[in-house]
Amino acid sequence: MREIELTGESFGADPNRSLTLPKANKLPAKEIKGFRDRIMSWYGIIAFLLLWQMAPYLGLADGRFIPPLSTVLADAFKLVANGQIFIHAATSCQRVLLGLLAAIVVAIPSAVVLAGWFPRFTKFMSPLLALLGNINPFALFPLFILLFGVGELAKFAIIFWSSLFPILNTTIGGVQNIDPILLKTARSMGASKGVIFQKVVLPGALPSIFTGLRMGATTAFLFLIAAEMLSASAGMGWLIHNSSMNNYIPRIYVGVVGIALLGMLMSLLLNKLENFFLDFKEEVKLD
Amino acid sequence: MKFNSETLADLFYRGGSIVLFILLWQLGCSSGFLPMTFVASPLSIVETLWQYLKDGSLYKHASVSVLRAFYGFILAALVAVPLGFMLGGWFKNFERVFNPLLVFLGQFNPFALFSVFLLLFGIGEFSKVAMIFWVAIWPILLNATLGVKSVEPNLIKLARSMGMGKIGLLLKIVIPSSSAFLFSGLRMAAGTAFFMLIPAEMMGASRGLGWLIINAQINYQIPKLYAGTTIIVLFGLLIDKLFRIFEKGLVNWKEAQVI
């Protein structure tokens, strides 16, 4: 009984004191934890890079085929110094972004409209869409070249085609897989179709849309390299192809890592976008 | 099987669009709207396929390719499923350490690595399997992680509040709830494994479906090119179907939905 009285008393007596005290204690600890977290996410990459550097010296790998990181970095620095890498990176980024944006603009609205408004037509079309998505763009390369020549248009078409179907099919799946309880609840509360679309269907499908976007971006990068290896005079894929033809091995790795970094930048942007839009989802903790 | 209007409607939904597409394609080819020089008509593709089937080359190439895709896929699944579960929620620190590295490695382009694999493993069987492994591992990993992360938090809280241990939590809550994701990851990976047959068999193969396509492409035999593509697509769909059947049998707790 006395304890209850005591807490009640201190709570009522000085609210400012109880508020400021833990705050002053917590701040530095939180800062340290945040710093540790940031460091932690780099451990894996640092270990990998160290292993890469050491492997040829330790005899784990053949230095001719896997040159140490320092050799690769030296070559990368040369390319940065004479500005060549920026030309290649910019060319590749432009190609990917154009193709991907076109695919997004076509795929997301049509998928949402198809799955949301015409479920029967979608059911009718989905086998065909799955089939078309399964067709290997690689096999269509000769066709694209014949149709669009070897210029920019063919590369755009390849990237557009290869990233269109992942986005389209995932978005359709996302709209179809919305929790039926949510839809039933909204409907039973008398929400109109427009409100259901805006408040349930779109937020419910957003995770899938982002999955589709990520898949589309990955495929776009994948086929960008293939397209640039086919016929180009600039771009990261051309860089790799050219160095591999000339047996200039460090530069192959520069290209590989450069593309990986570009792809990471893309997925970082997508993550930022996703976090911005998907702030309603709770994080799962198992431990 | 009873042949009533319901099965007819089902059949219509399942194959109607594809039949329509093929009919339009054939019509476009035979009317001359689609130039024969680079669009083979469905009839000529079927003819080529029949020829392949008759002289036994279809079996020869398909068996080699299926085995390659299978090895790559199995290796990827063996690595990625446990890793994905660990990353998804068991060891938060583990995820923090490895996720950035995996994101980085996941961006390594298989076409770009093509040259590297060639240098490391030669042009033998292993480099092809390595390439398929490399592309199949990422969808599984991504989906396993996503599946564990998307487990309904209330279920976990409920199970824990009833005193369920970690193993029980894994077996009774996490695996069943994430199985839908896991299966779609495996399904995608199997699809990708077939997908990468063409580039993988570009590195100096002498047999296989991918080789068939590359060979047709180089020799400019358009019907053969389409026939090879068709076989790979059919295999991809077959695998997809098999996985969906498995999925239906195993992930049966989810309610079907009507919009």
Within this chain, do residues A218 and A126 fall inside the same structural domain, yes or no?
A: yes
Residue A187 contacts residue A245 (beta carbons within 8 Å): no
Residue B7 has pLDDT above 80, yes or no: no
Q: Where among A46, A66, A86 does a domain terminate?
A: A66
Residue B106 has pLDDT above 70, yes or no: yes
Choice between A103 and B222, residue whose per-residue pLDDT is larger: A103
Query: Can you give the C-alpha Rg of chain A in angstroms?
Result: 26
A286 with B229: Cβ contact below 8 A: no
Residue A5 lies in a domain: no
pLDDT for the residue numbered B71: 92
Q: B78: pLDDT confidence band, cut at 50, 70 and 90?
A: very high
Q: A103: pLDDT confidence band, cut at 50, 70 and 90?
A: very high
Residue B258 lies in a domain: no
Residue A26 lies in a domain: yes
Residue B149 contacts A, CB cutoff 8 Å: yes
Within this chain, do residues B220 and B190 fall inside the same structural domain, yes or no?
A: yes
pLDDT for the residue numbered A105: 92
Residue B128 contacts residue B68 (beta carbons within 8 Å): yes
Q: What total number of domains does chain B contain?
A: 2
Q: Which residues of A touch B255 (CB under 8 A)?
A: 180
Average pLDDT value over all residues in chain A:
79
Residues within 8 A of A (CB atoms), B 42-61 only: none
Looking up tokens 């085609």 gives A161
Q: What total number of domains does chain A contain?
A: 2
Cα dihedral: A209, A213, A215, A218 (round 10): -170
Closest to B109 (Cβ–Cβ): which among A211, A225, A284? A225
Distance CA B198, CA B187 (A): 19
Residue A20 has a CB neighbour count (10 Å cut-off) of 11
Query: Which whole number is the average pLDDT over B245-255?
Result: 72
Residue B36 has pLDDT above 70, yes or no: yes
Within this chain, do residues B29 and B100 fall inside the same structural domain, yes or no?
A: no
Closest to B233 (Cβ–Cβ): which among A134, A256, A263? A134
pLDDT for the residue numbered B121: 82
Within this chain, do residues B76 and B182 fall inside the same structural domain, yes or no?
A: yes
Q: What is the pLDDT of residues A165-180, one digit of tens each?
A: 989 988 888 888 887 8
Average pLDDT value over all residues in chain B:
82
Determine the distance in angstroms separating the CA of A157 from the nearest CA of chain B, rounded to an integer: 16
Our CA angle for A259, A264, A267, nearest 5°, is: 130
Closest to B109 (Cβ–Cβ): which among A126, A139, A222? A222
Taking CA–CA distances from A243, the nearest residue in chain B reads B115
Residue B224 has pLDDT above 70, yes or no: yes
A123 with B150: Cβ contact below 8 A: no
Query: Which whole number is the average pLDDT over B214-240?
Result: 84
Within this chain, do residues A261 and A164 fall inside the same structural domain, yes or no?
A: yes
Q: What is the pLDDT of residues A268-283, one digit of tens each?
A: 888 888 888 776 655 5
Secondary structure (H, E, C), A240-275 = HHHHHHCCCHHHHHHHHHHHHHHHHHHHHHHHHHHH
A180 with B258: Cβ contact below 8 A: yes
Q: Which residues 6+ apart lie within 8 Å of B187 measured at CB?
A: B239, B240, B243, B244, B247
Q: Which residues 6+ apart lie within 8 Å of B191 measured at CB?
A: A134, B236, B239, B240
Q: Which residues of B touch A135 (CB under 8 A)?
A: 229, 233
Residue A231 lies in a domain: yes
Within this chain, do residues A184 and A255 fall inside the same structural domain, yes or no?
A: yes
pLDDT for the residue numbered B76: 93
Distance CA A128, CA A120 (A): 14
B112 with A256: Cβ contact below 8 A: yes
Looking up tokens 């509040």 gives B161
Q: Which residues 6+ apart lie within 8 Å of A84 measured at CB?
A: none
Mark out the alpha helices in A118-201 (DSSP H runs): 119-134, 137-148, 152-176, 180-188, 193-196
Q: Which residues of B touch A45 (CB under 8 A)?
A: 100-101, 104
Residue A74 contacts B, CB cutoff 8 Å: no
Q: B239: pLDDT confidence band, cut at 50, 70 and 90?
A: confident
Residue A9 has pLDDT above 70, yes or no: no
Within this chain, do residues A20 and A151 fall inside the same structural domain, yes or no?
A: no
Q: What is the pLDDT of residues A112-136, one digit of tens each?
A: 888 877 878 888 888 888 888 878 7
pLDDT for the residue numbered A19: 44
Q: Which residues of A touch B229 (CB under 8 A)?
A: 135-136, 139-140
Distance CA A112, CA A119 (A): 10
B17 with A128: Cβ contact below 8 A: yes
pLDDT for the residue numbered A11: 42
Q: Count interface pairs A-B at CB distance under 8 A.
A: 172
Mark out the alpha helices in A231-248 (DSSP H runs): 236-245
Q: What is the pLDDT of residues A47-80, one digit of tens each?
A: 888 888 888 888 777 777 788 888 888 988 998 8
Taking CA–CA distances from A38, the nearest residue in chain B reads B96
Query: Can you give the C-alpha Rg of chain B in angstroms?
Result: 22
Residue B94 contacts A, CB cutoff 8 Å: no
Within this chain, do residues B66 and B135 fall inside the same structural domain, yes or no?
A: yes
Q: Which residues of B touch A272 (CB under 8 A)?
A: none
Distance CA B228, CA A140 (A): 11
pLDDT for the residue numbered A280: 63
Distance CA A254, CA A73 (A): 8
Rounded to the nearest angstrom, the gap between the alpha carbon of residue A70 and the centroid of all alpha carbons in its chain is 28
Within this chain, do residues A272 and A163 fall inside the same structural domain, yes or no?
A: yes
pLDDT for the residue numbered A106: 93
Within this chain, do residues A117 and A131 fall inside the same structural domain, yes or no?
A: yes
In this prediction, the answer to ipTM > 0.90 reads: no
Q: Under DSSP, is residue B257 helix (H, G, I), strand (E, B) or coil?
A: coil
pLDDT for the residue numbered A276: 81
The residue segments making up the domain with residue A42 are: 16-66
Burial class (CB in 10 A: 0-12, 13-18, 19+), A202: middle
Choice between B114 and A269, residue whose per-residue pLDDT is larger: A269
Residue B119 lies in a domain: yes
Residue B152 contacts residue B177 (beta carbons within 8 Å): yes
Query: Which whole number is the average pLDDT over A187-211?
Result: 84
Within this chain, do residues A219 and A79 fall inside the same structural domain, yes or no?
A: yes
Q: Supply φ then ψ for residue B23, to 5 degrees.
A: -60, -45
